[in-house]
Structures are given as C-alpha cells and as structure tokens.
Copies of this chain bind each other. A is one copy, B any other.
C-alpha cells in the first residue's frame, strides 16, 4: 500500500508528487464529468494540449477510447518519462492504466479515483483493461500505478446511489476480513462520506483488498476471494444490460452476496442467523433487486463467466466472516435455490 495515499488534500499531494516532472511531461485523462466537477480542484498546471477528455460511460471503455489516449501522447511526442494522471471513476482509471502500461512499453501513471467504487476497488490492485467483443475487460494488463491518491472530498459530489454502489464493495471486504470491521460498516453514516471517519473506513477497506492482491497479484488463486458476490452479481448485471434495467454494479454485487452467503450456509456451515441479519441489512439499504426473477437465465449466464475453468460454476464461499474458501463448485439445484433467496 506504499503507493496509495489517503488524504483530504488530493490536489496538494498530487502537485507534490509531480514537482520534479516537467509540466510538458504530465498528461491528464478525464471524462467530461471529472473535467467539470473535479479538475479545478487538482490545480494541475499543464499545457492544454496535454489534457485528454473522453465521453463518460462504460460504452466508451473500448480500444477506440484507448487509441484516443495513445494518439494524444504520440502526437505530443510524449517520452518514456511522461506521467499519465487518470482522474475519474473506474472507467477512466481502467482505461488510462491500460493506455499507460502499453505506451512505449509502459509509462508511469497516477490514479486519482473520484467515485467511491473506484477508490475502493478499481484503482487498486493493478488490473487495467477495456471491453472488447462485448466482453468486460477482455483486453488489459496487470500494471501497478506509480501512485493512487484517494481523496474522499470528491465523494460529496456523488449521488446516494453512486455511494451505495461503492459501499457494496466495502461490505464485501468486511465479510472477507473480520467481525470488527464488518460491525463498523453496519453502523456507518453514509450521509457523511466526505468526512475523516469515512476516510478511515476506506483505508481499512483498501487494506483488505491490498493484502489479498499482494498474495496473488495475477489471480491464480487466493485473489479469487475478491470475486465473492460477483459470480451472481455479474450475471445480474448481464441481465440488466440485456434488458436495459437500471442496476448499479454495487446493487448487483450486494444481492449477489445474499445468494452466495446462502450457498455458504448450505455448503460451508456459515451461521444461518448471521446470514439472515446480513440479508435484512442489504435489503434495507439497496433498491429492490430487479433482474433476478429468472434463476434459470442467471444460471446459464454464470456457466459462461470467463472466470470458470471447469464444467460448473466456481464460487468463493465463507465459513464465517473472515474465513473464505476459493474455488467451490456448486451444482444446478444448489444455485437455483440460492438465487431464489434474493
């Protein structure tokens, strides 16, 4: 975590980190949202031609988008000691990280994530990528950013739904770590995500992810723990995309965790009462989950998930809070029953 800076003065920190880099060697990648709401705050004094602004949204996370970044870098004769600053949510940090990792075989990048989801998840751990052929993150690299600046001052511009979307990943980290942190999360005040107390919760959450990633940077084994809630969650997201439903990543993961905790009760002895408490907590916090009324369809989507390397569906399950087991294969009947609990 040495390269991750938790601060409420992101602009000052960034300028300090870059003080020995010529301003003509600094490039700033944004989408129109982060340009309008976050750029001024950074006070980054670089030439206008070094600013790269993309349209917002997942559909821009493509090779075409990355080519635009490469074109600006190349047209400006960016050198190997250039630094790309990625200012935005997960789409920008994923794309910018990929662009930097391949330009002249790798220039440095600094991630400045501006959403809770990207602060917790997307900007930490070295996964970069773009969507290709209709598949999420089909093309990408493992590449660690030089620095990540996590400033929760940005979060006050977010809607409650955007906050909840990131908070689902914090809940996941809570379930993967220990009861104390989980209990802190259960009693958090989500109306003050820009405060110093919440910054401390973010730091703990990132520490959970970092510890797991450090043990297995290239996702050969234990890193799959971070997939908890996501096997079902990704299937819900796929239905949402196909049916044009309004579901955030965090909503899908939150409800995915209910189903996967139920499998944990059935197969790993996870405590039934605790499961019921968690289910109530999630149901109370997140909008009613759409897209789960057809378990058969969700099952078929899971079968084709890229993380599967076995004829069956691979889950990370919990024995208790903090005790996870990766690579648990579940069969059709078990999965259908679990999906009915959402």
Contacts and interface: CB of A to CB of B under 8 A. Distances in A.
Interface of A: 63, 67, 70-71, 74-75, 77, 79-81, 98, 101-106, 127-129, 132-133, 135, 137-142, 218, 304, 306, 309
Contacts of A140: 102, 104-105
Given A74-B133, A132-B74, A309 B101 contact: no
Given A74-B138, A80-B306, 15 more contacts: A63-B67, A70-B138, A74-B135, A79-B309, A80-B309, A81-B309, A102-B139, A102-B140, A104-B138, A104-B139, A105-B127, A105-B129, A105-B140, A105-B141, A106-B141
Nearest to A137: B105
8 contacts: A70-B138, A74-B133, A77-B304, A81-B309, A98-B102, A105-B127, A105-B128, A105-B142
How many copies of the shown chain assemble into the complex?
A: 2
A141 B74 contact: no
A103 B67 contact: no
A132 B309 contact: no
Contacts of A218: 105-106
A106 B142 contact: yes
Contacts of A80: 306, 309
Contact of A306 (B79, B133, B138): B79
A142 B81 CA distance: 16
Contacts of A74: 132-133, 135, 138
A306 B104 contact: yes
A71 B141 CA distance: 17
Nearest to A103: B139
B133 A71 contact: yes
A150 B117 CA distance: 47
A57 B141 CA distance: 27
Contacts of A71: 133
A79 B309 CA distance: 7
B102 A102 contact: yes
A133 B135 CA distance: 27
Contacts of A133: 70-71, 74-75
Nearest to A307: B80
A23 B23 CA distance: 51
